[in-house]
Amino acid sequence: MRSSVLLLALLLLLGGCASRAPLPAQAPQLALPLTLHVQRQDAGQVQDWLLVLQDEGRGLRWSLLDPLGLPLARQLLEDGQWHNDGLLPPNPEARELFAALLFALAPRAQLPALWPAEAWQADSDHRCMAVDGRHRWQVNYRTPQEFTLELGAGRAYRVRPLQGTAP
């Protein structure tokens, strides 16, 4: 019993030390609200989600929903910090996805003002973000709002505007 408690404490401590997803110096200028279909692909399994991104004054509200409309994650990004929105528990995977989506959705011309130049590379149909010299996110574009986002460990997300909601 005591060894289980120590192991749990160690795991919680190590989880707190995990590197945080890089966030931009300020929010990119995006055409909001934005509603996206996100298809998660991990270990041969596919899940479909709905993502709604809204302007909330000084912040951005992120709502990730399953196909039935049940919330999976709700976060508010305000002043460079994530805040839980509602009663859902923190969701580290969703925060990583949301941060990577900020990078993927930011217009190319805004990247130099938002992230350190040594952290990213971009051309017309591809972007990648590196942290500590290692690739963290890779984006492959079909259009500016239709792309595949790879987050490593075999996890990828296909992202596209929900039909009828593209600006």
Considering the domain boundaries, does residue 54 fall inside one? yes
**Within-domain flag for 99:** yes
Q: Is the peptide bond before 33 cis (omega within 30 degrees of 0)?
A: yes
69 lies in some domain: yes
26, 114 contact by CB (below 8 A)? yes
Is 117 within the bounds of a domain?
A: yes
Please check whether residue 59 is in contact with residue 77, taking contact to mean a CB–CB distance below 8 angstroms.
Answer: yes
pLDDT along the chain (167 residues), means of 10: 37 46 92 96 93 93 96 94 89 94 96 95 94 91 95 91 65
Residue 4, in any domain of the structure? no
Report d(CA 111, CA 126) in Å as an integer.
13
Q: What is the pLDDT of residue 164?
A: 59
Residue 122 resides in a domain: yes
Q: Is residue 137 part of a domain?
A: yes
The answer to whether the beta carbons of residues 82 and 97 sit under 8 Å apart is no
Return d(Cα 64, Cα 58) in angstroms, integer: 20
pLDDT at 24: 93
